[in-house]
Amino acid sequence: MVYGNSRSVRFQDDVEVAKLSAAAINGDSGMIKLKYKIDGTHIPETSTAKTTAGKSSLKAKVLSRVFSEDYERVKKKILDPRGPTIRRWNKIFLVTCLVSLFVDPLFFYLPVVRNQVCIDIGIPLEVILTSIRSLADVFYIIQIYIRFRTAYVAPSSRVFGRGELVIDSSKISLRYFRKGFWIDLIAALPLPQILIWVIIPNLRGSTMTNTKNVLRFIIIFQYLPRLFLIFPLSSQIVKATGVVTETAWAGAAYNLILYMLASHVLGACWYLLSIERQEACWRSVCNDEKPSCQYGFFDCHRVQETTRDSWFKSSNITSFCNPDSRSYKFGIYGDAVTFDVTTASFFNKYFYCLWWGLKNLSSLGQNLATSTYVGEILFAIIIATLGLVLFALLIGNMQTYLQSTTQPEELMKNLYSKGFPWISEETIKRHLCLDLVRRVPLFDQMDERMLDAICERLKPALCTEGTFLVREGDPVNEMLFIIRGHLDSFTTNGGRTGFFNSCKIGPGDFCGEELLTWALDPRPSVILPSSTRTVKSISEVEAFALRAEDLKFVASQFRRLHSKQLRHKFRFYSHQWRTWAACFIQAAWRRFKKRKEAAQLRAKENPAPVQTHQSLQPHQSGLSVYAARLAASTLRANTHSGSDSDVVTSLQKPAEPDFSVDEE
């Protein structure tokens, strides 16, 4: 429509157009975007609105959700979860997690039993482990930072296609805080370093014997979150690349490493529990030799004390706590005391404990002769259960991995014909397209047979940026259902001066609705309908196309298309109908305003002849009434000039099918 002296007016039928910035909308057409009231009065734009329109609109609305290839403007701040950077980092972090899971149980080897019947902490091993552990903690901190800067796929866009990326940093942070952050934070805390460098040095004396319990609790408390992080991380790598490793031997080694890791953890726990059982034997002897014996004597820092030395010379603790004497029941920890594992060097005791864990994990704990201690029995039950589960998973995963990587191509080709008849082109296409078709408001009320018929006839289509899918006036030969990308749909109403209507089409939308009117007609014409709009892709577009002959066949087979409810839906969601309705309503409103103004003008003019009739002569009053009526008619003629009747008549009402004639 044309208002006053304005050059052009842009109709915005679609509410999604409001998400575009002013520069993005006006950059292609070179037109000036003005705002008008419904009666045609121009609304001036404030300076604040002009400033914020260019700054906040594009960032807050347009860039809140993008696809992987559309986020170039923010790629320095936000990372693509499916990009090469995240894939590379996930593999690096997976290796770091495995190293961390290997290092943490080594803290159980810090307590060392000396020949003087005391427990000490190995300082060289303590320094090495804290250095490696601190380096691994740095990677966990980096992982937290990366999670704060990694976009995620919007759940609402996972219905079809690859999904839209949410790149709003506030939304990313809020989602990360809700799930995942606290587990990552617990995994990144330097708890073992604080324990052995801050807490243990302050627990000398009688409380030194309790440090093993604290050490075991802290390590297990942090080991479980770190172990939990491996499974979603492996799933992300498999989802991005298909497999964790590219070769069969590497995949088998990866599963074997997990089995060896469990043996490593069990061996470390067995070593620490062996020291605790040995100390429990010392305490039982100390209880019999009180008051000359104290629990603090088992701290190696008190070996040089006189009272401790005199007690050790007079005590029979070494003979009583010997497994060969059978005076004390060591149970499954007897080998650690018999073979001096608790007093051996680090490498000797580590490999022995690793072998002990692997042996009992593989044999499901069948060779374990436990005592009556409840804790010892529970530990043996855990070994048997864990060994059964891990051994089954190891064999199953290795077999599946080797089969999947060495599978012949002929077997994949014969899946449909021999073992899996449900895998077919039709079922796969239905799985991919059914939710997409249901999202179209025009088809959401159709039955399953109708939707299946549409899905079977959909063809994939790919359009590059800047491609004109259809021009105004050209015949429409297909409907497009957009999966990914955006298109600009605009019309000039047949090249009419000053008329321009534009809207944006995105994922879940469709274009080419002119074919619906043509296909729904019981007696359609052979000539395809002409497009009322020009559709141009503004990014790379993936879509499914429904050709005219396929749509005509579906419409002829299913009479439910010819319902009144569907006709109303078609009118509401059709851009052509919405444009015509907007123009019709505005024209009717302006006619109403002009008639109202004319009525107010006549109301002001009617009292004037009455007053003149009372004061003037009869022939003078008649001339005055005639002159007043002539002026009013002239004013009304001027007012009606430039009416909107030509606008409405030029914008023809869209055609719709006539269902009064049934097909024979």
81 CB neighbour count, 10 Å cutoff: 19
Sheet with 152-153: list strands edge to edge: 65-66, 165-166, 152-153
Burial of 349 from C-beta contacts in 10 A (0-12 / 13-18 / 19+): buried
Contact between residue 443 and residue 454 where contact means Cβ atoms under 8 Å apart: yes
- Of residues 488, 476, 604, the one with CA closest to residue 27: 488
pLDDT digits (tens, 9 = 90+) for 76-88: 577 877 778 888 8
CA 152 – CA 162 distance, rounded (Å): 12
3-class secondary structure, 491: strand
Low-confidence spans in the chain with pLDDT less than 70: 1-76, 156-164, 203-212, 237-252, 400-429, 432, 436, 439-446, 493-499, 520-524, 557-576, 607-664
pLDDT recorded at residue 412: 55
CA 397 → CA 97, 401, 404, distances in Å?
Answer: 20, 6, 10
Strand partners, 505: 487
At a CB cut-off of 8 Å and minimum separation 6, what does 337 contact? 274, 278, 321, 322, 323, 330
Contact between residue 151 and residue 168 where contact means Cβ atoms under 8 Å apart: no
pLDDT digits (tens, 9 = 90+) for 346-369: 899 999 999 999 998 888 888 888
3-class secondary structure, 409: helix
pLDDT recorded at residue 75: 52
At a CB cut-off of 8 Å and minimum separation 6, what does 147 contact? 176, 180, 181, 184
* Distance of alpha carbon 613 from the chain centroid: 83
Query: Within 13 Å and on the Cβ side, how many CA atoms surround 242?
Result: 6
pTM over 0.75: no
